[in-house]
Structure 1
Amino acid sequence: MGVKVSPIVVEIIRNAVNSAAREMNSCLIKSSFGPGIYEMKDCSVGIFDKDAKLLGQSSGLPIFLGNLEICINIVTEKIGLDSYREGDVFVMNEPYLQGTHVADVTVLAPIFHKGKLHGFTAVRAAMQDMGGKDPIGNADSTDVYQEGLRIPPIRLCKEGTLCEDVMEIIAMNSRYHTMMKGDLNACIAACYTGETRMNELFDRYGTQVMEESAKEIFRQSEEIDRQAVQNIPDGVYEAEGCLDNDGQTEEPRLLKVKVVIQGDRMKIDLSGSAKMGKGPINCGRAQTIAACRVGYKQMINPKSQVSGGTFQNLDVVVEEGTFLAAEEPAPCGWYFTGLGLLIDLIGKALSPVMIKEAAAAHYGDSSLIIFRGYDSVRKKQFGICEATSGGWGAFYGGDGQNCMINVVNGDLKNWSVEFIEDKFPLRLLSYSIRTDSQGPGKWNGGAGVIRTYRVETDGECHLMLWIERTRTTAWGLFSGGNGKAPIAIVNPNTPDERRYLKTNTLSLKKGDIVQIQTGGGGGYGNPLQRDKKAVQEDIENEYITEEYAKEFYGYEA
C-alpha cells in the first residue's frame, strides 16, 4: 500500500518535475551547435515514469511532446525493461516508428536511483542535415531513401560511455559533421540533466512519495478530461478539408475527420482520408496520433497541464494505407503538412456543440523556405531553413493573433532579421503585416506576414519552398470569412516576376528577391456585427484597407 501524500506535496512535485524539464530544455538549447536548436528552438523534452507516462515537460513542439512516450515504449519492446543500464542513452529517427521525418532525432535515457529504474528522460531535436539527396531537405523526394540516414533504436551511450562508432556513422552521413556531433552531445547532456534533477527529488522526497504523487497527478488529469468530454452532447461530428497536393502530383489530398462522443470518451476517426502520396507528404501513425492529441487538448481543458493521465479517454483510428499512416518506402520529408489541417478540422467538427471553445482555422502551414548554396563572402557552404509565421483563427470574444507560428510548431521561433543577415548571404528587405490577409468577422482572424529576402552571394544559390493550404484556406466560423491564401513571389513587381508554392532547387543569382506572403486566420461571427471603432483601429493600424473595410464591414469613412 502506498504512502499518503498531501495535496501540497503533490503540487510541489508537479512543479518541480516540470522545472526539471525546463532545465533539460535550457541545457539542450544552450549547448547545441545547430541554429535550428539554439536559435529556432526546434526541439522538445519530457520526463517520464518507468511505465513511460509523462511526468513533466517543457514548452516545445506539441506534436513532438505528444508521442515521446511512444519512442520509449519502442525501445523497451526491443530490448526489454530489464536490459536498461544506468548511463545508457538510445537514439532513433526511424520515420515509420516515431512518425516524423529523418531530421527529427529522438534521444532518450533511463533514470536510475540507487540501482533501480524509476523512469526516463527524452529529447527530440531537429538536426540541420541528415544526408539525403539535397542539403537540409527536399520537396521532391519519392521515397524515404532520398531523404537521409535512418536510425533504428540503438545505444548511443553504454553505461555512461559514448559509443564512438555510432556517433561517427551518424555524423559522417551529415554535411555538417561537427554540428551533428555537437547537437547529439547536447541531447545526451539534456537527458543526463533531467536524470540528475530527478535523483535530487528522489533523495529529497523518497521514491514512494514521488510515485504516489505521480499517481495523483495522473488521476486528476484523467478525471477533469472525462468530466469535460461528458459535458459534450453524445453524437458524431464531422469535417473535412484538402491539402493542395503531395509535391509530386497536382491531386488534392483529402483529410476526413469524424469525432465520436460517447459518454466520457472521444474517438477521432480519420478513415476515408487520402491514400499515401508519391511525394513527401506522408506521416507516420505515431505522429498522427500526437496531432490528434493536440486537437483534443485545444478543445478539452486547454489550460491544464498534460500528464500521464491525459488522453486516457481518447481513441484514435488511423486507416492503413493513408498518408496519415506512412509505410516504407513512402517519403515523409514534410510529414507535418497535413497535421495543422487535421488539428483545425477537429475544432471545426466540434464547433456546433462547443461554440465558445472552438476557434476558426489558422493559416495552418509551416510555410517553409530554404536557401542553400555557397557564401562567396564567408567562403563556405550555407543552408538556412525557416518556418514562417501567419494568422491564427478568431474565437468567441476575441480576434485571432497576428503573425504567430503555426500550431504544429508550438514554441518554435522564426529567425530574427539580425541573425539571418549576420550568418547568411541574405538581406531582409521587409518584415511586415500582410494587410487584408485576415478573415473578416465579428472577431477578425489574425494577419499573415510579408517577408522579403535579397540574395547577397555571387556563389551558387538555390531556393526550396514548401507552402500549403491554398485549396483549403483558413476558414471562418459562424458566418466569419476565410483568411487569404499564401504565396511566394520571386522578383516581385518586375518583368521577371514568378509565383511559387513548391519548388526544390530553383536557381537564384545575386540581387534576386524572394518574397513570401503567408496566410491569414479565419474570422468568427458575422462581419457586419464588428464594432465600428475596432474597424477604424484596424484601418489606422494598416491591418486592413478602407476598401476591405467597405467590402466586408460596410464601412463608410
Structure 2
Amino acid sequence: MIDPVTTEIIRCALLQAAEDMNTTLIRSSYTPVIYEAKDCAVALLDREHNVLGQSSGLPIFLGNLEVCTRHTEELYGEQVWQEGDVWVLNDSYVGGTHLNDVTVYGPIFVGGELAGFAASRAHWLDVGSKDPGGSMDSTSIFQEGLRLGPVKVYAGGEPCRDLHEVISRNVRFPHATLGDLRAQVACAMTGQRRLAEIVSRWGLDTVMAARDEIFTQTERLEREAIAAIPDGVYTAGGFLDNDGIDLATPLPVNVTVTVSGDRIEVDLTDCADQATGPVNCGAAQAVAAVRVAYKLLVSGEVPLNGGSFRPLAVATRPGSMLAAEVPAACQYYYSHLGLLIDLVIKALAPVLPGSTAAASFGDSMIVQFSGLDPRTGKLYVSQEATVGGWGAWEGGDGESALVNSVNGNLRDMPIEVLETLFPVRVHRYEIREGTGGAGRWKGGDGVLREYEFLGDTSLSLWFERSVTPAWGLAGGADGAPPRVTLNPGTPQAREMLKVNALPVHAGDVLRCESGGGGGYGAPPR
C-alpha cells in the first residue's frame, strides 16, 4: 500500500519530467518545424514499456511511442538494453507514421537496474525522399526516404559514427538533421536524469507502488465513464477526397463502435484497401487516432499513463489503408486519421450529446515550398500546417483558427519567422469569415493566408476534406470546404488542393483558405 499524498507527488513529478524532456528537445533543435511548430512529443516509460508520463505535444502520438521500445525488445531480447545506449527508429510500419517522424529512445538504468525508457518523436525536415521535405505523389515507401528499423545511434554514451555518416549522406540538410538528432538524444538524457532523481528520492519500490496505484485509478475512472454510456453498436462513415494519385476516387473510412458494459471496441476493418498514393499508415497510428477520440470523449481530464486505454480495443485489417504493409506509401498518413477521430465522435454523438462536438476542418492542410534561396543560393524547405475551424458543441460556438485535433500543440509558422527564413512575403493572414457551419451554435471559421514568392520555387500542397467537409450535428449545417488558388484574380488563376513539386516563379501569389467547422443545433428561425 502507498499513501495518496506520496502517490500524487510522484504522479506530478513524472509528468513534470516529461515536460522537462519536451522543453529540452524544443530548445535544442535546429529546424523551425520543431522549435517553432513544435512537431514533436515525448514520453517517459517504465521497464514494462508503460507510460509513466507524456508531455503535451501531438495527440496523434498518444500512447504510441512505447511501440518502438517494445518492438526493439521483441527483436533482440531484454538483454539488448545497455546503459548509455540510444536507439533510433522511423519505420512507418512499426511506428505507424511517415519516415520524417523519427523516434529516438534509450533505456534508463538506476543503480545498475533497468528502471524504464525515455523516448521522443520529432519531425525531421528531410529524410532523403525523392522530393525535398517529402512527396505528395509517392507510390512506394522506397520513394519516401531513409527507412531505419531499430538501430543504435549512441552506444555506451558515445555516438555511433557509422550511423551518423549514413544519415548524413542520405539527407539534404545533414547539419540541421544531425542537430535535431542530438536534440532528441539530449531529450532522452534529460529523461534519464529526471527518472533517476525521482527513484533516488523515493526508492524504486515506492515509485513502482505509486505507478501501480496511478494506473489502477486511471483504469477505474475510465471504466466508470464507459459504463455510463448506453450499451450498443454505433456507426459512422465518410470519405477521403482521394489518394493524391487518382484524384477522382474518394476513399471510404468507416467506424463501428461497440459499447458493452465498461468496455469499448472500435472496428476499423471496413475501410479502403491500402492505396496507391501516400495516404496509408501503419496500424499503430490508426490505434493512436482512436485513442485521441477516446480521450476526447471518455477521460480528457485524466493524464495519460499506462492505465489508460485498458478498456479500449481497436480492430484493424492488415493490408488496408489503416494497417498498411510494405511497400505502401505513407507520407500523408494523417489525413484519414483526422477524419477517423471525427467519425468516432459522430458515431457516439446520439448517446453523448453533451460531450460531443460537430466535425472540425479536420486535416493538417500542408503548404510546402522548396528551392534555392536567391538571397543565399542555398537549398531550403518550408513546410507548415494550416489552422482552421472547429465544430460547435451543445453550449458554445466552435473555435476559429485552431490547428486540427491530430496535431494538438503544433503551431502554425509565425509570419515573422517565415519571412526571415524563406524567400516569401505574406500579404494577408485573416479569419475566413462565414466558413463555419450555421446552427444554434456556429462552427468556427477557417483562415485565409496569402503568400507571394520572391524567387522561383517548387510548390507542394496537401489539402483535404472537400468530399466530406466538416459536418454539423443535431441540425447544424456543414462547414465550408478548403480552397487553394494560385494567382487569384488573374487570367492564370488555378485552383487545386493537391499538387507535388509544381514550378512557380517570383511574383506568383498563392492564396490558401482552410475550411470551417460544423454547426450544432438547428439555427433559430
Aligned to 1:300: 298
Aligned to 1:533: none
Flag as ranges the 4+ runs of structure 1 deviating above 4 A. Answer: none
Q: Is the 8 A contact 2:436 2:517 kept in 1?
A: yes
Q: Distance in 1 between matches of 2:46 and 2:346?
A: 35
Q: Distance in 1 between matches of 2:371 and 2:472?
A: 40
CA shift at 1:182, angstroms? 0.4
Q: Distance in 2 between matches of 1:444 and 1:168?
A: 54
CA shift at 1:83, angstroms? 2.2
Q: Is the 8 A contact 2:99 2:144 kept in 1?
A: yes
Query: 5 Å matches for 1:447-462?
Result: 447-457=445-455, 460-462=456-458
Aligned to 2:470: 474
Q: Distance in 1 between matches of 2:344 and 2:156?
A: 44
Q: Distance in 2 between matches of 1:215 and 1:152?
A: 32
User: Is residue 297 of structure 2 the alignment partner of residue 281 of structure 1?
Assistant: no
Aligned to 2:13: 16
Q: Which amino acid aligns with 2:84?
A: G
Q: Secondary structure of the equivalent of 1:342?
A: helix
CA shift at 1:172, angstroms? 1.5
User: Is residue 491 of structure 2 the alignment partner of residue 495 of structure 1?
Assistant: yes
Q: Deviations over 1:378-433 (max 9, x none)?
A: 22111100100000011111111110000111100110010011110000000000
2:45 to 45, 48, 57: 48
Q: Is the 8 A contact 1:48 1:55 kept in 2?
A: yes
1:251 to 249, 252, 256: 249
Q: Distance in 2 between matches of 1:150 and 1:321?
A: 19
CA shift at 1:47, angstroms? 0.2
Q: Distance in 1 between matches of 2:103 and 2:381?
A: 23
Aligned to 2:263: 265
Aligned to 1:65: 62
Q: Distance in 2 between matches of 1:6 and 1:128?
A: 46
Aligned to 2:82: 85
User: Is residue 152 of structure 2 the alignment partner of residue 155 of structure 1?
Assistant: yes
Aligned to 2:426: 428
Aligned to 2:219: 222
Q: Distance in 1 between matches of 2:464 and 2:332?
A: 11
Q: Deviations over 1:327-370 (max 9, x none)?
A: 10010010011000000000000000000001100000100010
2:205 to 202, 208, 215: 208
Query: 5 Å matches for 1:371-520?
Result: 371-457=369-455, 460-520=456-516
Q: Distance in 2 between matches of 1:69 and 1:505?
A: 35
Q: Distance in 1 between matches of 2:91 and 2:304?
A: 26
1:25 to 14, 22, 39: 22
Q: Secondary structure of the equivalent of 1:226?
A: helix
Aligned to 1:322: 320
Q: Distance in 1 between matches of 2:320 and 2:51?
A: 29
Q: Secondary structure of the equivalent of 2:361?
A: coil
Aligned to 1:128: 125
CA shift at 1:326, angstroms? 0.7
Q: Distance in 2 between matches of 1:391 and 1:29?
A: 27
Q: Is the 8 A contact 1:375 1:425 kept in 2?
A: yes
Cα RMSD of the aligned pairs, angstroms, is 0.8
Q: Which amino acid aligns with 2:16?
A: S
CA shift at 1:495, angstroms? 1.3
User: Is residue 58 of structure 2 the alignment partner of residue 76 of structure 1?
Assistant: no
Identity %: 46
Q: Is the 8 A contact 1:66 1:294 kept in 2?
A: no
Q: Distance in 1 between matches of 2:347 and 2:161?
A: 50
Q: Which amino acid aligns with 2:443?
A: G
Q: Is the 8 A contact 1:46 1:65 kept in 2?
A: no
CA shift at 1:292, angstroms? 0.7
Aligned to 1:544: none
Q: Distance in 2 between matches of 1:260 and 1:354?
A: 14
Q: Distance in 1 between matches of 2:156 and 2:178?
A: 19
Q: Deviations over 1:225-278 (max 9, x none)?
A: 001111111100000000000011121000000000011000000121111110
Q: Distance in 2 between matches of 1:360 and 1:292?
A: 17
Once structures 1 and 2 are overlaid, which stretch shifts more, 342-351 or 316-325? 316-325
Q: Which amino acid aligns with 2:253?
A: L
Q: Which amino acid aligns with 2:337?
A: L
Q: Distance in 2 between matches of 1:266 and 1:62?
A: 20
Q: Distance in 2 between matches of 1:416 and 1:273?
A: 37
Q: Secondary structure of the equivalent of 1:527?
A: coil
Q: Distance in 1 between matches of 2:174 and 2:62?
A: 27
Q: Distance in 2 between matches of 1:83 and 1:132?
A: 31
Aligned to 2:192: 195
Q: Secondary structure of the equivalent of 2:43?
A: strand
Q: Is the 8 A contact 2:62 2:291 kept in 1?
A: no
Q: Deviations over 1:16-56 (max 9, x none)?
A: 11111111011111111111111110000000111111111
CA shift at 1:296, angstroms? 0.8
Q: Distance in 1 between matches of 2:13 and 2:76?
A: 30
Q: Distance in 1 between matches of 2:27 and 2:104?
A: 17
Q: Give the TM-score normalised by structure 1.
A: 0.93
Q: Is the 8 A contact 2:222 2:298 kept in 1?
A: yes
Q: Distance in 2 between matches of 1:388 and 1:31?
A: 25
2:518 to 517, 522, 529: 522
Q: Is the 8 A contact 1:66 1:291 kept in 2?
A: no
Q: Is the 8 A contact 2:226 2:264 kept in 1?
A: yes
Q: Distance in 2 between matches of 1:151 and 1:30?
A: 25
Q: Secondary structure of the equivalent of 1:179?
A: helix
Aligned to 1:545: none
Q: Deviations over 1:163-184 (max 9, x none)?
A: 1111110121110010111000
Q: Distance in 2 between matches of 1:452 and 1:176?
A: 27
Aligned to 1:106: 103
Q: Distance in 1 between matches of 2:310 and 2:182?
A: 34
Q: Distance in 1 between matches of 2:71 and 2:208?
A: 23
Q: Deviations over 1:122-179 (max 9, x none)?
A: 0000001000110001111111111100001011111211111111101211100101
Aligned to 2:116: 119
Q: Unpaired runs of 5+ in structure 2? A: none
Q: Secondary structure of the equivalent of 2:127?
A: coil
